[in-house]
Homo-oligomer: A and B are copies of this chain.
């Protein structure tokens, strides 16, 4: 038996720690979570956390990086494609975000809450505003195909309608998780249509 890896009952300790950290940091944020919480959740000893990651700060940086990459990747993969139509891109942005966030519902609030203290700041606006997607929009405005909307506001609208519900989940009490999912499924269909309607407003 040469390169056999690990036993059952859960991966390497290192991986278990990262998983626990991802879960807890993303749920509650950097300051609310103590290293002891992570160790307990991971089912390992507190000392081991420092053995592998040296400090809470460094472990957090890993999770922050993971989350921002996953969060930005959706935009990155879509907006700069030169062969996709405006309508298709909007529809893809909405669908891909809602699908991803349904699996990671705490991610947006995590991102927004930690954007200040983050080193390699997230560049959502920059990414979208300098994209080929924005060129397409400006072209469509010039040719009169859509109304003269401020591109920054268009971008803000797509993102707001898609992401905000996940951020506001906890103040939207009364919705069961099932109802919330149904609502988001409906929004996947409707948001592109609503955006389209906006693009006709003078």
Contacts and interface: CB of A to CB of B under 8 A. Distances in A.
Contacts of A172: 124-125, 156
A1 interface: no
Main secondary structure of the interface of A (DSSP, over half): helix
A177 interface: no
B183 A153 contact: yes
A102 to B, nearest CB: 15
A30 B163 CA distance: 24
B201 A197 contact: yes
Nearest to A68: B171
Nearest to A200: B197
How many copies, total?
2
A181 to B, nearest CB: 13
Interface string A139-159: 000000000001011001101
B112 A170 contact: yes
Interface string A48-83: 000000000000000000000000000000000000
Contact of A183 (B31, B156, B161): B156
Contacts of A116: 170
A123 interface: yes
A32 interface: yes
A156 B113 CA distance: 21
A111 interface: yes
Most buried by B among A111, A121, A165: A165
B197 A124 contact: no
Interface stretch (A11-19, A85-93, A185-193): A185-193
Interface string A99-111: 0000000000101
Interface of A: 29-32, 109, 111-113, 115-116, 121-126, 129, 150, 152-153, 156-157, 159-161, 163-165, 167-168, 170-175, 183, 186-187, 190, 193-194, 196-198, 200-201
